[in-house]
Amino acid sequence: MTARGFARQAGAAAAGAIAPLGLAPLSIWPATLLSMAVLARLLYQSAHSYRLAFSYGAGLYLAGASWVYVSIASFGTLPAPLAALATLGFALFVALFFALPFALLPRLATSPGSFIAAFTALWLLGEWLRSWLLTGFPWLYAGYSLTELPLASYASLGGVYLLGALLAAAAATLALFPALGRRQRLGGGAAMALVVAAALPLDRIEWTEPSGAALTIALLQPDVDQAQKWSRSERMAILDQLESRSEPLWGSDLVVWPEAAVPAIAQSVPAFLARVDRRARAAGSALITGIPNYQAATASYYNSLLGLGLAEGLYNKARLVPFAEYIPLQSLLGPLLAVFELPMESMAYGDEQQPLLRVGDAKLASAICYEVVYPDLVARQAAGAGLLLTVSNDAWFNHTIAPAQHLQMARLRAREAAKPMIRATNNGISALIDRRGAIVASAPQYQPAVVRGTLQPRAGSTPFNRSGSWPVIVAALLVCAILAARQRRPQRFSRQTR
């Protein structure tokens, strides 16, 4: 590799590392736009699209998902050097798939204008690809940088994917502005101005409407030490704390305990569950708690949500966390991970289609921890629900940027559905979120706390709830197909002119 090539690779990696500055907790949104523009410019000037995109992806995930190291080093059994090596390997592995769509870029771009179209379509397809390939890792999507801006109103049309595509189009246009002709500059500028101008009227559209009575809600954030949570000697003390700290909350319409708040299989603590169920009913309250659950019909264990008191239903987690709740490619990776002595759980997948939890007449679309980062998964349930509910145990992230990123993704799910979101966690950030993604109430991190508030269930659905990501995915594929067909023409764009 030449010195110039190395400089470009380093520049791409640095640009990727800048992108997370636009996401939570800093939320300096121009940083993400600038980062994408640098990548677009580097790709435009080079024939080595895959290499540059890989370097960008490596920088993006090393910086934005650095919390992986903390999770492995703090709660795994690997020593620090091996944890660092595992984190590097993880970032490089995900970067392979980040770069994959951009390998097509030289086959699609025949002019500055077609480059902008191709970059936008491939960015969108890349984010979608990373949401399902090998179960997916839909983290650090560019569109989350717009959560606080009026442009987030486009999420109701095409979800976070559409937001990322708008950023990609703007970034590529800015990066190639000097190479565009006068008409293209005017057209690009007018298009960006139109998108920004339309955001406010779009934000005023009420896709959903109030349905039924508002619910008073109380979230318990127990802040149980992760090192003690699953200790048999600590189980009774944790259960006693759940009961005592919930006593002031009874009387609320809905009380929520976080993911796996009960540190035991449901079938092993029937007396505790029966006692809590009676207490909630006596107070006229619904209780939803996270709890592991065994089902004899499938002879499997599930990460579940259970309704007690006036709440009804059971939800089993449908998207599991790789290397935490299951081992992907177990026949290949199992022996290797056994050498590393990584702690593993063996949970089963819940069905993709499950009955919604109920609190009176209100239906709740549920997502346990990692599931809330999957836009289409939440959208499918949200269409028939009045409220969204997610529970999590972000203690695995420790004192990192991950809890803030996780909260930001939950906020955009509320935006996409135009319905309020309830988020209960073990140690933060627990919050009540309105239909526009704004935080109504929240609790401080790393301490026991309670979040109280009122949320109004809503009926109806947004275009994104009804169709999911398919319209924008199909549109991106059509753009790529049209550009590929144009490439077959005799006169092609020469990269030597760049």
Residues tagged active-site: 259, 317, 369
> 80-99 and 112-129 are packed helices; what angle lies between their axes, rounded to 10 degrees?
130
CB 465 within 8 A of CB 417: yes
Categorise residue 420: left if φ over 0, alpha if ψ from -120 to 50, beta otherwise. beta
DSSP string, 96-137: HHHHGGGGGHHHH-SSHHHHHHHHHHHHHHHHHHTTTGGG--
Paired tokens of 428: 């933060």
Q: How many helices (H) and strands (E) does the chain have?
A: 17, 15
CA 467 to chain centre: 19
d(CA 74, CA 61) in angstroms, rounded, equals: 19
Distance between CA 316 and CA 307 in Å, rounded?
12
- Which residues of 251-336 form beta strands (DSSP E)? 254-256, 286-295, 300-309, 311-312, 314-316
CA distance linking residue 175 with residue 255, whole number of Å? 50
Residue of 451, 382, 449, 456 lying closest to 412 (CA atoms): 382
CA 102 to CA 111: how far, in whole Å? Answer: 16
SS3 of residue 295 by DSSP: strand
Q: Distance (Å, rounded) from C-alpha 417 to C-alpha 364?
A: 12
**How remote is the C-alpha of 3 from its chain's centroid?**
38
Q: Which amino acid is at 337?
A: L
- Distance set, CA 440 to CA 34, 93, 150, 263, 449 (Å): 31, 38, 18, 29, 16
Please list, residue by residue across 368-386, b when 16 or more beta carbons sit within 10 angstroms of its beta carbon and e when fewer do: bbbbbbbbbbbbbbbbebb
Distance of CA 252 to the CA centre of its chain: 29
Alpha-carbon distance 122 to 105, whole Å? 8
The one-letter code for the residue type at 154 is: Y
